[in-house]
């Protein structure tokens, strides 16, 4: 059966939110140290920033980066990372030693070089209202107060002007330092938000949502938190990680079905609180942690430990090696985020370097792209303009974990200014190539300007990955079987593949 997709220029969800293409830098493992920051590395600049990783970050197309955590932030004193005297601390979240050689000033400087927006998180685990409002004053007030003058004395005359702030991290989780009930957190989030806005009323604030859809408090947590804090926050967070279980690749490839449902359930809860509270404004979604993550046991032989077994400085932690299957799944996650771009306004793939990351680096060695780098980079590059509401008629197959799932997964955007339509499409079949037809309404295509596919390379299999010794084993290659004839595009997608097709179009 040929999959038929209809795209109508008049059926849109709204503008592509550029913050959908966010990333995450946490003080965890080797994300910061020997990741983005390694003084003495042959590629390091005068500030210790690795220029090879910076170049890959720009190629990836990240637009906003969340910092400094994550679980790490729930036990972090922001003052430790500013000024000349940086104390070494035990980090209980990841059982490691934090040197604090890299902190707020260094991250802001790095973000400016990388051309990304800063998304700062405050500690609502062990700290609270006072520390949060003081951090805002330190970071954003022009001068003339003790805290803003301290920033100036520490080398930053101009305010950092950070607009986007997370009110803690995963405080619904019993693993979190400072774990709280929904009522406890909702009240704390409300009062912290008010105090932060007293310092800077231009802030955008993200309340903590459920750590994942399987949490026993999911739904009830969002409802309780927002019942308290709806009036003072702009977004509520979502976190989700997926992996292949027991060789069930069919279910794993359909993980975005679960992501779709998760988003829609959170939106329903948010809007129920809005109606019950008679609020006029709309709270949207910050999906500020998502990725494939193989959460195996601490004694697994094929993955680095979840946490270090001793108090080490920047130990190797969850440095997952991503294969072809993982890349196709990540491509469908990006499709899901686009399909919900009317409500998901921020998203952060976790994390940027080394720790479950699209970019890998070695200490005093090279940096390279993992397989999951490619769908993110191309979607960030080409998803411009309006998100189209697609009608997709495709075979459905059964999965053990997610029920029925469409064989072909798709999203599309239309950039009227530049006359381009981009189709992002995945074939979940592991055995067969699939024919796809795209019917355009209100648009006419003149030529295919780009057609690329990520699939199993010649001589490889679905587990083929990029690593230190084979950094380019998997990547994007030309998609040959694609043609455009006016309002109809036809393509043949290889088995187990993610593809992007860009078409030059004009309104009719």
Of the candidates 98, 289, 386, 452, the residue annotated as catalytic is: 289
Edge-first strand listing for the sheet containing 488-493: 477-478, 443-454, 497-507, 420-427, 408-415, 386-393, 3-15, 434-441, 488-493, 482-485
At 267, is the secondary structure helix, strand, or coil?
Answer: helix
| DSSP structure class, residue 16 | P
Q: What dihedral angle (degrees, nearest 10) is formed by the CA atoms of 362, 367, 370, 376?
A: 130
Q: Are strands 443-454 and 477-478 parallel, antiparallel or unpaired?
A: antiparallel
Please tell me the distance from the alpha carbon of residue 361 to that of residue 35, in angstroms, as a whole number: 6
- Structure tokens that stand for 328 in this block: 């196709």
Q: How many CB atoms lie within 10 A of CB 170?
A: 23
Q: Are strands 235-242 and 284-292 parallel, antiparallel or unpaired?
A: parallel
Chain centre to alpha carbon of residue 410 = 19
CA nearest neighbour of 64 among 156, 197, 193, 162: 162
289 is known as an active-site residue: yes
Can you tell me which residue has the tokens 């940096």? 367
Of the candidates 98, 106, 170, 452, the residue annotated as catalytic is: 170
Give the CA count within 13 Å in the CB-facing half-sphere of 266. Answer: 32
At 356, is the secondary structure helix, strand, or coil?
Answer: coil
For 482, the enclosing helix (H) or strand (E) is strand 482-485
Task: Give the 3-state DSSP-derived string for 420-433, with helices as H, strands as E and coil as C.
Answer: EEEEEEEECCCCCC
431 is known as an active-site residue: no
Please tell me the distance from the alpha carbon of residue 370 to that of residue 355, in angstroms, as a whole number: 12
Burial status of residue 247 (CB atoms within 10 A of its CB: 0-12, 13-18, 19 or more)? exposed
- Omega before 311 cis (within 30°)? no
Q: How many CB atoms lie within 10 A of CB 277?
A: 12
Q: Are strands 482-485 and 488-493 parallel, antiparallel or unpaired?
A: antiparallel
Using alpha carbons, list the distances in angstroms from residue 86 to 99, 108, 192, 508. Answer: 7, 17, 26, 62
**C-beta separation of 348 from 289 below 8 A:** yes
H helical segments located in 214-294 = 220-229, 249-253, 255-276
The residues that are catalytic are 170, 289
């Amino acid at each position: 059966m040929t999959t038929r997709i209809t795209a109508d220029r008049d059926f849109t969800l709204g503008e592509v939110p550029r913050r959908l293409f966010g990333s995450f830098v946490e003080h965890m493992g080797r994300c910061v140290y020997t990741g983005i920051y390694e003084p003495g590395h042959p590629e390091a600049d005068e500030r210790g920033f690795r220029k090879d990783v910076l170049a890959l970050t720009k190629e990836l197309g990240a637009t906003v980066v969340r910092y400094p955590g994550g679980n790490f932030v729930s036990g972090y004193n922001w003052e430790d990372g500013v000024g000349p005297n940086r104390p070494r601390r035990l980090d209980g979240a990841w059982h490691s030693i934090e040197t604090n050689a890299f902190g707020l000033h260094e991250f802001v400087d790095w973000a400016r070089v990388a051309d990304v927006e800063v998304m700062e998180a405050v500690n609502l685990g062990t700290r609270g209202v006072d520390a949060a409002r003081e951090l805002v004053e330190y970071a954003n007030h022009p001068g003339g107060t003790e805290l803003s003058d301290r920033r100036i004395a520490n080398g930053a005359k101009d305010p950092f002007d950070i607009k986007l702030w997370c009110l803690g991290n995963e405080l619904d989780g019993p693993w979190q330092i400072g774990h709280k009930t929904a009522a406890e957190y909702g009240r704390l989030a409300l009062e912290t938000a008010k105090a932060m806005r007293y310092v800077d009323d231009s802030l955008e604030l993200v309340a903590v949502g459920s750590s994942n859809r399987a949490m026993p408090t999911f739904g009830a947590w969002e409802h309780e938190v927002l019942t308290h804090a709806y009036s003072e926050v702009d977004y509520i967070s979502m976190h989700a990680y997926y992996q292949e279980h027991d060789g069930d690749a069919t279910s794993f490839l359909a993980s975005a079905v679960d992501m779709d449902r998760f988003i829609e359930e959170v939106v329903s809860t948010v809007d129920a609180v809005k109606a019950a509270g008679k609020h006029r404004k709309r709270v949207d979604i910050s999906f500020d942690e998502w990725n494939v993550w193989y959460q195996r046991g601490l004694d697994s032989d094929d993955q680095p430990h979840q946490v270090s077994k001793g108090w080490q400085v920047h130990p190797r932690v969850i440095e997952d090696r991503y294969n072809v299957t993982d890349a196709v799944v990540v491509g469908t996650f990006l499709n899901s985020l686009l399909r919900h771009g009317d409500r998901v306004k921020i998203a952060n793939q976790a994390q940027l370097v080394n720790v479950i990351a699209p970019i890998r680096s070695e200490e005093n060695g090279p940096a390279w792209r993992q397989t999951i780098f490619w769908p993110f980079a191309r979607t960030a590059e080409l998803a411009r303009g309006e998100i189209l509401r697609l009608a997709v008629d495709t075979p459905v197959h059964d999965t053990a974990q997610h029920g029925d799932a469409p064989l072909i997964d798709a999203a599309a955007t239309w950039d009227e200014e530049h006359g381009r339509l981009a189709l992002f499409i995945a074939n979940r079949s592991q055995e067969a190539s699939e024919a796809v037809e795209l019917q355009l309404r209100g648009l006419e295509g003149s030529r295919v300007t780009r057609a690329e596919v990520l699939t199993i390379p010649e001589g490889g299999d679905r587990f083929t990955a990029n690593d230190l010794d084979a950094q380019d084993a998997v990547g994007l290659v030309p998609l040959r079987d694609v043609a455009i004839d006016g309002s109809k595009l036809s393509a043949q997608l290889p088995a187990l593949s993610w593809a992007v097709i860009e078409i030059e179009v004009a309104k009719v």
